[in-house]
Amino acid sequence: MSDIHVVNRPARRWALIVTSLAAGAVLAWAAVQTRADAQPAAAVAMAGAPVPAAAPAARLTGLPDFTVLVEEVGPSVVNIRTVERVAVGRAQPGTPDEQMLEFFRRFGIPLPPGAVPRGPGPRDDDERGPQRRQRGVGSGFVYGADGYILTNAHVVEGADEVIVTLADKREFKARVVGADKRTDVALVKIDATGLKPVRIGDVERLKVGEWVMAIGSPFGLDNTVTAGIVSAKQRETGDFLPFIQTDVAINPGNSGGPLINMRGEVVGINSQIYSRSGGFMGISFAIPIDEAVRVAEQLKAHGKVTRGRIGVAIEPVDKELAESLGLPQAGGALVRGVEEGSPAAKAGLEPGDIILRFDGKAIDKSVDLPRIVGNTRPGTQAKVEVWRRGATRTLTVTVGTFEEEQTAAASSRPEPAKAGPLGLTVRELTAAERRELKVSGGVRVVEASGPAAAAGLRPDDVIVGLGNQPVGSVADFERIAGGWPKGRAVTVLIRRGEWAQWVLVRP
């Protein structure tokens, strides 16, 4: 027995050691967990507040499942093919295929002479000469059960035929109801039944970091689903649109398709990408659906979009400019120019004014103004709050109808010029020029260089004010410019064609 005890004692001791180590590990783990769990409570107790009940922390438990969204929204997404008849000669080697045509058109890349898609598409010869059907591809979605389809304007631009293919493979020839290039929104109509329109979402509820999904036809591949997150909102890339930026994969052919939130609602129309290679690089832009719907309703009712305008040229207000004009903080839209005879001119707006509010809406950034004015119905009398010479004042402007502005070219006559400071060479105005411009004085710019050129001044501009003082002659110009404090920005009021503009020259 003693031999047995001697033999078994080491084994028993090892068993006890192993058991002790295991128990110690469990106790140590429990202690760590206890300290980790108690730390927030202790921190609260140290702050002198009662310890709240433990609540589970919000954390990502898994990736989202998009299958339900695809089943719900997929039937509302359509493929759009366009056909354009173009006169061609013999096809040249290396011409692009049909799937790249939409990309070329979207980014304004010109095709070389004779560069047309090669493939099985038909070729016609008629009295107009050799013809070939040039094809483009895009996407869209059902906007109304009565056959209205929303897409991008660039998808249907220049098309002789528009063919819409539904998710159930039915094909229809579509009629373009209207297209608006400035917002890149188009509305087309098909005669079809059994359509399922999308649900429109609220862009205001959309948050940066939120999951979104796109369905479209990249490179002609129908019903392709891609997903990502909202990267930014209110991304300014155009006059009238604050785009939604995402990292959803968008390629040629996705244009016009819907951007969908996790509630199955359309929050945008996929429109543009940022790319140095022509392919997707992680940055894509979508038109906010509220802006698209506003345009679509006008296209549906009138076939075109009517926007308001007041006739001003504007630029941003930075901190330096705000300080120089005594504005408490940077913001608003600086009026650089006022078109002669425009609603703004009739209301009394002047170059150098800073528009702070328009029709009751704050102008936080200069790009807000064109959008707010554009969305205002022509004929509306709107209150405009401006900052002028250290104080605010309110003017009333009657909003006009937007149209393409015409800039008249100023005449130039080779006359003796006189060199001046600020990088400007100027000359006197002739009596005929004063009558033509309807000014009592001023000097014409012959040459602009250095600070003046950097500020945007150019030959043939007429300077009528400098440093908030009138300029009637070259002598006035030299006197004011010569006495201006060195290194300090100076305001220059100019006439350029039919426009009066305000320019800040920074030495």
Domain ranges for the chain: 78-111+119-189, 199-302, 308-401, 418-505
| 3.20.20.70, 1.10.3720.10, 3.30.70.1230, 2.40.10.10: CATH of 199-302 | 2.40.10.10
Which is more confident, 504 or 99?
Answer: 504
Is residue 46 over pLDDT 80? Answer: no
Is the Cβ–Cβ distance between 67 and 86 less than 8 Å?
A: no
pTM over 0.75: no
Tokens of 198: 């999308």
Q: Is 482 helix (H, G, I), strand (E, B) or coil?
A: helix
The pLDDT-based confidence of 472 (bands split at 50, 70, 90) is confident
pLDDT of residue 133: 62
In the numeric block, the tokens 């560069």 are attached to: 115
Phi-psi group of 497: left, alpha or beta (phi > 0 → left; psi -120 to 50 → alpha; rest → beta): left
CB of 232 closer than 8 Å to CB of 248: no
Residue 77's alpha-carbon distances to 39, 191, 217, 410, in angstroms, are 52, 16, 9, 52
Distance of alpha carbon 320 from the chain centroid: 26
| Strands 161-165 and 462-466, bridge-based pairing | unpaired
In the three-class reduction of DSSP (H, G, I as helix; E, B as strand; rest coil), residue 319 is classed as: helix
261 is in an annotated binding site: no
Question: Does 337 appear as a known binding residue?
Answer: no
Q: Assess contact for 462 and 297: CB atoms under 8 A.
A: no
Q: Is 212 helix (H, G, I), strand (E, B) or coil?
A: strand
Report residue 78 CA to chain centroid gap: 25
Q: Closest Cα partner for 421 from 464, 468, 456, 466?
A: 466
Say which amino acid occupies 334: L
- Of the listed ranges 95-109, 208-222, 383-397, the one predicted with least confidence: 95-109
293, HSE (Cβ side, Cα atoms, 13 Å)? 16
* Among candidate residues 293, 291, 75, the one with its CA nearest the CA of residue 198: 75
Fill in the amino acid letter for 169: K
Yes or no: say if 371 and 290 are a contact pair by the CB < 8 Å rule: no
Two tokens, residue 317: 């207000």
DSSP state of 472: -
> Over pLDDT 90: what percentage of the chain?
36
CATH 2.30.42.10, domain 418-505, yes or no:
yes
Q: Tally the residues of the chain.
A: 507
- The confidence score (pLDDT) of residue 28 equals 41
Q: Are 471 and 494 in contact (CB under 8 A)?
A: no
Rounded average pLDDT over 308-337: 87
78-111+119-189 and 199-302: identical CATH topology: yes
Q: List the one residue out of 265, 251, 308 whose CA is nearest residue 103.
A: 251
What are the structure tokens assigned to 275, written together? 């790319």
Q: Which helix (H) or strand (E) holds 243?
A: strand 242-246
Residues 203-245 pLDDT 10s: 999 999 999 999 998 888 888 999 999 999 988 765 567 899 9
- Residue 83's pLDDT is 85
For the chain, what percent of residues have pLDDT higher than 70? 73
Q: Tell whether residue 254 is among the known ligand binding residues.
A: yes
Tokens at residue 233, please?
């909102």
User: 78-111+119-189 belongs to which CATH class?
Assistant: mainly beta
What is the pLDDT confidence band of residue 276, given thresholds at 50, 70 and 90?
Answer: low
Opening angle at CA 361, ends 356 and 363, nearest 5: 35
Q: Could you tell me which CATH number the domain at 308-401 has?
A: 2.30.42.10
Give catalytic residues, as residue numbers: 154, 184, 255
* pLDDT at res. 27: 38
Over residues 131-152, the pLDDT tens digits come to 556 577 899 999 999 999 999 9
Which amino acid is residue 247, in one-letter code? D
Question: Which residue bears the tokens 């040459």?
Answer: 447
Q: Give the pair of three-digit tokens for residue 82.
A: 């366009």
The Cα–Cα gap between 427 and 424 comes to 10
pLDDT band, residue 6 (cuts 50/70/90): very low
First to last CA, the chain: 107
Classify residue 467 by its DSSP letter: T
Query: Which residues, 6 or more positions from 278, have their beta carbon under 8 angstroms from its beta carbon?
Result: 103, 107
The rounded distance, in Å, linking the Cα atoms of 353 and 345 is: 12
Q: How far apart are CA 196 and CA 175, in angstroms?
A: 19
Q: Mean of the per-residue pLDDT values for the chain?
A: 77
Q: Which one of 85-99, 177-191, 317-331 scores highest in mean pLDDT?
A: 177-191
- 155 confidence band (pLDDT: 50, 70, 90): very high
Q: What is the pLDDT of residue 78?
A: 95
